[in-house]
Amino acid sequence: MREEERGKEQEKMAAAGGDSSGRGESGKGSERGENIKTAVQLEGVSKRFGYFFALKSVSLSVKVGEFVALLGPNGAGKTTLIKIIATQMKPTAGTVKIFGENVFQNSSKTAELRREIGLVAHESFLYDELTVRENLAFYAKLFSLNKARERFCGSYESYKSYESCEGCGSSWEETLSELVEFLNLGRWLDVKAKHLSYGLRKRADIARALIHRPSLVLLDEPFGGLDESSRELLAEYFKCFKGKTLILSSHSYEWAKRVCERGILLERGEVKQEICL
Amino acid sequence: MPLTKIEKWDASTGATTAAFATLHTALKIAEKDLRVEFRRSYELLSVLTFSLASILVCSFVSGASATPVVSAAFLWTILFFASILVFTTSFTREADKGTLLGLKTIPCNALAILLGKIFYGAALLFLVEIVLLACAVVFLNAAFRAEILFVFFLGALSLASAGSFISALVMFSEGKTLLLSFLLFPVSLPVLISGSAATAKMLGGSTLGEIMPAIELLIAFLLLIFLVMSLTFEFVIEE
């Protein structure tokens, strides 16, 4: 019975953008499958803040569809690494490739790559004065959701059509309602973000990060500050991201193990060990 | 060899689409900022209260006999201080709450974020200008002319450009409020000089053609600051 329920949940998530083989993304998945095998590749990446090296010549590779955990104590460089992969921070040295594209080489290409990345950071990206629905709509429109989908349908004609892509699947409102149902946010959609509890805000933030159906999901300490039941709930959500590439950072080996297949242990900005979780 | 998704995208987009996407993003950010601003109403109300109180004090000093030059000087001095109040929170609020990182995840040129803030700032300043002008007509006996709104619009856009850019420059530094006021004055001097001169002449009965040099200076300032912003903003927004 439990397996059956999980199967249904996974189907629902696939429809909401969790599975690249899902509706509206089949082209994307197969195309990537044929051309690109590596989602993230870092070579000799270092980051220095003044005299302090947050990362020292980090090299790692994450395959498409892989779930990887960045493990390590506070100050190990997990957040810096996530920010660099999310194209939010330029490394001092080294190269970063996302889906085979060299990030930071060309700013317009870097901007375009951001369509493929969903980031849940320490800080919430939600605006306190806006409701959850308004926040999600704001980000969905900024990612011009349907415009992104047009590329996969090969029907790019005019920029204006971003708000209604005929014959290209669902609108962002549909994605929103699917995510809201999956993350159980329905009751809080019209509540201002400032009135949400920490756990609810985290869930709304995850919906925000997934609203544009990214292929690469980056989660910075997603379990931090949550109670056991919320952690359980989130771990279950993340397991349903099959088809996407997921990188999460965590202090907790136990929780990382619940979601990821591989762990990369960071210590003082260096990769110490790769672990099979 | 099949093209990857990103190569396909590059082939189908041009500079026009990129510019349009930047403008679209900027407008969405400005819309969001205005919505947040009106919901937090106390900040907007404090700017409007300051402007109203200032013009009342000016009217007590000059009475109803203020010359166009004096009225223009009052209006632009108040507008300058109101702009400090507006731009103190413009980028700082985003940086402090962490939402700036969210804006940086948007698949668009970094300049779109700045343009969004400029549109938002210009809209607020224009609102303040309209309130100020109405008060000037009532309390300073200033002669209202519709063309003056054009000067105010250009002035608001110029001040918003300078203010937003400086707000972004100082957002990660300590003492940002002090820095903003120190930096905004010298940078916005061309706007204040040409804006107040144009307003004084307009209030004195000059036509739009007669104040063209001042308008040209405002437009030149806008072009120059836009050039500086487009060349440097990507580095400014880096933490």
**pLDDT for A85-140, tens place per residue?**
999 888 999 999 998 888 888 777 888 888 889 999 988 999 999 999 999 999 98
Does B145 contact A at CB distance below 8 Å? no
Identify which of A108, A119, A127 has the shortest CB distance to residue B32: A127
- Distance between first and last Cα of chain A: 27
Q: Is the model more confident about A161 or about B28?
A: B28
Q: A56 exposed, middle or buried (CB, 10 Å; 0-12, 13-18, 19+)?
A: middle
What angle (nearest 5°) sits at the alpha carbon of residue A129, between those of residues A127 and A130? 70
Is pLDDT of B179 > 60? yes
Tokens found for residue B186 = 């010298």
Which stretch of A15-19, A22-26, A136-140, B90-94 has the lowest confidence by average pLDDT?
Answer: A22-26
Task: Give the mean model confidence (pLDDT) for residues B50-54.
Answer: 93
Q: Which residues contact B107 (CB under 8 A, 6 or more apart)?
A: A111, A112, A113, A114, A115, A143
Note whether A178 and B142 are within 8 A (CB).
no
Bridge-based pairing of strands A93-98 and A38-49 is antiparallel
Query: pLDDT tens for residues B101-133?
Result: 999 988 888 899 999 999 999 999 999 999 999
pLDDT of residue B117: 94
Taking the complete model, does pTM exceed 0.90, yes or no? Answer: no
Identify which of A117, A124, A152 has the shortest CB distance to residue B105: A117
pLDDT > 90 fraction of chain A, expressed in percent and rounded: 31
pLDDT of residue B50: 93
Q: Which residues contact A251 (CB under 8 A, 6 or more apart)?
A: A71, A72, A73, A74, A221, A224
Distance CA A12, CA A183 (A): 11
CB-CB neighbors (< 8 A) of B28 in chain A? 138, 141-142
Q: What's the gap between Cα B49 and its chain centre?
A: 19
Whether the ipTM is more than 0.90: the answer is no
Residue A99 Ramachandran class (φ > 0 left, ψ -120 to 50 alpha, else beta): left
Identify which of A89, A99, A127 has the shortest CB distance to residue B36: A127
Specify the amino acid at residue B103: L
pLDDT of residue B8: 42
Q: Which of B226, B202, B229 is nearest to B215 (CA)?
A: B202
Specify the amino acid at residue A173: E
Task: Give the mean model confidence (pLDDT) for residues A208-235.
Answer: 86
Does B10 contact A at CB distance below 8 Å? yes
